[in-house]
Amino acid sequence: MGIDIGSISTKGVVLGEDGQVCASGYLLTQGDPIGATRRLLGDLQSQLPAHTHIHSVGTTGSARRLVGAMLGATCVKNEITAHAVGTLSRHPEVRTILEIGGQDSKIILIRAGIVTDYAMNTLCAAGTGAFLSAQAGRLGLSVEEMGDVALTSSSPTRIAARCTVFAESDLIHKAQAGHRLADLVAGLTNAVAENYLANVGKGKQISGPVIFQGGVSRNLGVVAAFQRELGTEIIVDPLGHLMGAIGAACLSAKETPLEHPFQFDIAHKSYQTRAETCKLCPNHCEIVHFYQGETRLDHWGNRCDRAGKPGAA
């Protein structure tokens, strides 16, 4: 089983011994990674035959360590590694991975099945799924409708999308000036691709096969914009939004299996975090202790072993 838990969405898969997806789930994190994981586990369990044995568990994403401690994961990996491994398990020939999520973007370059370079953008929301969602609402459209509408435009409006604030201002100004809805939407989707390539992809040697994943890959307008900018076909896998979870599952399968098969009722146990600021030295580490009941499962944030002890502050 692999779980990819991010700031916007939580994804999970269960892979069979043949590597095929037996169960999958996708839901919003809603600022509660533990609660989202509980709901995800219920969804995955409902799709599996009774007495299914889960022999390994992997986690990735921004809350990977928290959820890894909760589930007793055999493997906790960063997003770059998980996305690369997941993608290569389905597309072994891929050389470039473009990924745009809810609040960040990344590019991964692969040569001969090995990650050779990568870059991430986590400082600005311009060009992310959250940015597109906000602009779709402003235009009275759903995010899903944006791609289809964009493809009907023959004269996309030029939108300054290097910054969210400027993009919104520019969009409002040009809408008031009388630009057609389809042209405005096409301008936004073009701006997402241009912004990504000018920032995340800056200086990178992008070569095919190229695969586009993340929630924004479902927007056909952005896919078409990337194809025009790069002059190559863009692969969009139907399971692209699950690649991180698939990678986490694949990586966990290579580790020592769980001593006992995973129990889904772990989701119903009581979990809590306790934060403290250590004052034993000038670093003032912000430490998070993670408990199941009164048993501490893990902690993080400390720079030395002394600060990691409960109550050491």
Same domain as 104, residue 212: yes
Same domain as 136, residue 36: no
Helices 164-176 and 181-199 pack at an angle, to 10 degrees, of 160
Show the domain range for 66: 2-85+245-268
Give the model's pLDDT for residue 164.
Answer: 65
Question: Can you read off the two tokens belonging to residue 274?
Answer: 């306790």
**Per the structure, how many domains does the chain have?**
3
Give the model's pLDDT for residue 173.
Answer: 85
Residue 261 · residue 48 · CB < 8 Å: no
Element (H, E) at 187: helix 181-199
Same domain as 230, residue 206: yes
pLDDT tens digits, residue range 10-59?
A: 999 999 988 899 999 999 888 888 899 999 999 999 999 988 999 999 99
The verdict on residue 313 lying in a domain is: no
Residue that terminates a domain, selected from 177, 212, 236: 236
- Across the range 77-91, mean pLDDT stands at 95
pLDDT tens digits, residue range 154-198?
A: 888 888 766 666 777 888 888 888 899 999 888 888 888 888 888
Q: How far is CA 77 from CA 94, 171, 212, in A?
A: 21, 39, 21
- Across the range 263-289, mean pLDDT stands at 82
Same domain as 262, residue 281: no
Residue that terminates a domain, selected from 236, 257, 283: 236
DSSP H stretches of helix in 119-176: 129-138, 143-150, 164-176
The verdict on residue 297 lying in a domain is: yes
3-state secondary structure 12-49: EEEECCCCCEEEEEEEECCCCHHHHHHHHHHHHHHCCC
